[in-house]
Amino acid sequence: MTEVLRLDGVTKSYGAVVVADAQSWSLQAGEALGVIGPNGAGKTSMFNLVTGTVAPNAGRIWFDGQDVTGWPAARRCRAGIARSFQVPQPFGGMTVFENALVAATQGAGERGAKAEATCLDVLARTGLLPKANVLAKGLTLLERKRLELARALCARPKVLLLDEIAGGLTEAECHSLVATIRDVRATGVSIVWIEHVVHALLAVVDRLIVIDFGRKIAEGEPHAIMASREVKEIYLGIEADA
């Protein structure tokens, strides 16, 4: 297997708050990796470090065989790292199609008919084609989540970072979003997915890592990790030898 992303001892703190503590892990091409951990554990901060909106205090980040640690966010996005945001961030006064077009042109560097074709394809795959001409501010939560996914896909990522994209959805909406994410994964895009809705995560990912206080405290097969001592300790407060 080919490694597409690797964090090597990545460390970041804000004063006394350590959001990444010598974090090391990697993602293989075509793999889907789940990330869980309590609120404030540093999961979103880890995405900020990978996408380049935040610089680490120490450690290196490798993408597609290159050390991208010093690269600005826009260059990383063009190279193939795209993300969705936990709180959807569409341009509310623009239509769904225009939002997608911004991502295809700015994120993937596409122009004209090629960019438009990408948008139409992605909107169809994410179920948003019927909403293409609707202003983003008029979308429901599920549609805004889908637009987050669509915008990230229009950047033509090799690595797609999903930040709590299932949060706040009904069971049926969640099920439908999971099916879409599985389809994306089947196209060969590698995925890192932060999620509190564990059953959604387990329906997609091959491997799970657990983060607490910025540290990776467990890593492995998803069901084994969910049943592990580390997860019971941080979520249920059960003692290590209980």
Ligand X SMILES: Nc1ncnc2c1ncn2[C@@H]1O[C@H](COP(=O)(O)OP(=O)(O)OP(=O)(O)O)[C@@H](O)[C@H]1O
Instruction: With H, G, I as helix, E, B as strand and everything else as coil, classify residue 223.
Output: helix
What would the x/- binding string for ligand X be over residues 80 to 109, using CB under 6 A?
------x-----------------------
The distance of closest approach from Cβ of residue 12 to ligand X in the complex, given in angstroms and rounded to an integer, is 9
Q: How far apart are CA 123 and CA 110, in angstroms?
A: 16
Site residues for ligand X, window 45-64 (CB under 6 A)?
Answer: 45
Task: DSSP for 100-146, please give it.
Answer: HHHIIIIIS---HHHHHHHHHHHHHHTT-GGGTTSBGGG--HHHHHH
Among positions 1, 39, 239, 242, the unique one binding ligand X when judged by CB under 6 A? 39
CA dist 73 and 82 (Å) reads: 10
Rounded least distance, CB 79 to ligand X, Å: 23
23 forms part of the interface with ligand X (CB under 6 A): no
The yes or no reply on residue 44 touching ligand X (CB under 6 A) is yes
Half-sphere exposure of 179 (CA within 13 A, CB side): 9
Stretch in the footprint of ligand X (CB under 6 A) among 14-22, 87-95, 101-109, 110-118: 14-22
Judged by the rule CB under 6 A, the positions of this chain that interact with ligand X are 14, 17, 19, 37, 39-45, 86
